[in-house]
Each structure stands twice: as structure tokens, then as C-alpha cells.
Homo-oligomer: A and B are copies of this chain.
Amino acid sequence: MAGGGDELKLLGTFASPFVMRAKLALSFKGLSFEDVEEDLANKSQLLLESNPAEKKVPVLIHNGKPVCDSRVIVQYIDEAFSGNGAPLLPADPYERAVARFWAAYVDDKVLCHVLEAARGKTEEEKAEGLKQTLVAVETMEAAFKTCSKGKPFFGGDRVGYLDVTLGGLVVWVHAGAALYGMRLFDDAKSPFLAAWVERFGALDAAKAVLPAVERVVEFAKMRQAQAAAPATAGGN
């Protein structure tokens, strides 16, 4: 499966943490891919046909066959290209279960509340989102200590499934600091995660696919301006 004949195409948007996650998995497995930037206001026919149930990015198209949902994509890459470099998921069933549990936690508790804090309809909703985010980060901080067992990554000495899953947030940790003056993982409250962000972001395989922080900040500012502008100024 890891031969040069494989065609890999990733439909995504550069600022999405879910898309970054899929790109990180491809990069850490040493796979090159065609990076197709979607316009979510005008989705391509290929995206609509590849993910008819959810019409969302990322979608990985491998030799014409679509795989949807970022965590499913990461596991697919690990299994379909098992011959390429080190596996992302551990071999031991129990360790796999622990990694899968925390990967789900990142989406259901961390990312979900981060989005609530950023996009909440009322100040009350935003405050609740922020509060829940901080609880989830505190829990993740404790989990990091358990999973990493004193090693530099959740996966131990090398990057694994949970690192890649959380890796989609690394650029946003920096962007959040620039935009809101607040770090999701800070040195005082979550020193292990704060150090992990620096360590992960410095890896060549991460740098190869993660967008520049400035680009994500510019994008977020543009979206905020669009949201604040009267509807008539919104264009398409």
C-alpha cells in the first residue's frame, strides 16, 4: 500500500484544526499528497460527492476512494500505510484504548468548548464555553502525564495518534495568544501541555504541513470582521 503508485488527495481548509490533523498524520507517515483548498461557502462537486452524509472537510481521497472524519482518516492512514515508518497507534490493545479515549476527549471536550467560547451567541454562552475549556485542559494536563510516562510525547518517545490529534491545535494555541491575549495551554496552569506545544511544533514533519501562525491570525480577523459587518456587506 505504501508504493509510489498511491494517489492521495486531501480536501480541506488551511485553518481547520481537523484538516491540520489529517495533514500531520500524512506528514508523520512520510506520505506526500495533493493539498486541495476548499471554499466552504462554495463547496466543490468533489467534496459534495466524496462526503455526501456530512459535506465536511477533511476528506482524504486515496486512489479515488474517499475517507471522511479526521480521526477516522488518521487511523486509516496508520492502517493503510502500516509499512511506512513507525505506527501512530500503539500495538497494545489497552494503550490503543487509552489513546482513542483521549483523542475523543480532545474533540468532545476541548475543541467543542473552544468553539463555544469563540462563537457563542451570547456573552453567557462564551463564558460557559471558556469555563468548560479550562476544566478540559486541566484534565488533559493530568492525562498527558499518565499517557507520556515522562516521555516527550503522548506516544512516548515518538509522536503517536494522540499527539497528531491534539497537533491540530498547536497553531491555534499561538493564534489564540495573538488574537485574544490568552494561551489555551499556558506555562502556569498546564506546563506539560505548554512544553509539548513547543516540542511538537518544532518537529520537521509538523513544520512541513502546519500553516504560519500569522496566516491563521489574518484569517481569523477577516472572519471576525465579516461576522461583525452588516449582511449586505458580506458579499458571497
Interface residues of A, Cβ cutoff 8 Å to B: 1, 53-54, 62, 65, 67-69, 71-73, 75-76, 79-80, 93-94, 96-97, 100-101, 104-105, 109, 139, 143
Contact = CB atoms under 8 A, between A and B. Distances in A.
Contact of A101 (B1, B69, B80, B104): B69
Interface SS of chain A: helix, strand, loop or mixed?
helix
Q: Which of A53, A75, A143 has the most CB of B within 10 A?
A: A53
Contact of A97 (B53, B72, B97, B143): B72
A75 B53 contact: no
A233 to B, nearest CB: 29
A62 B68 CA distance: 32
A15 to B, nearest CB: 22
A207 B94 CA distance: 28
Contact of A68 (B1, B96, B101): B101
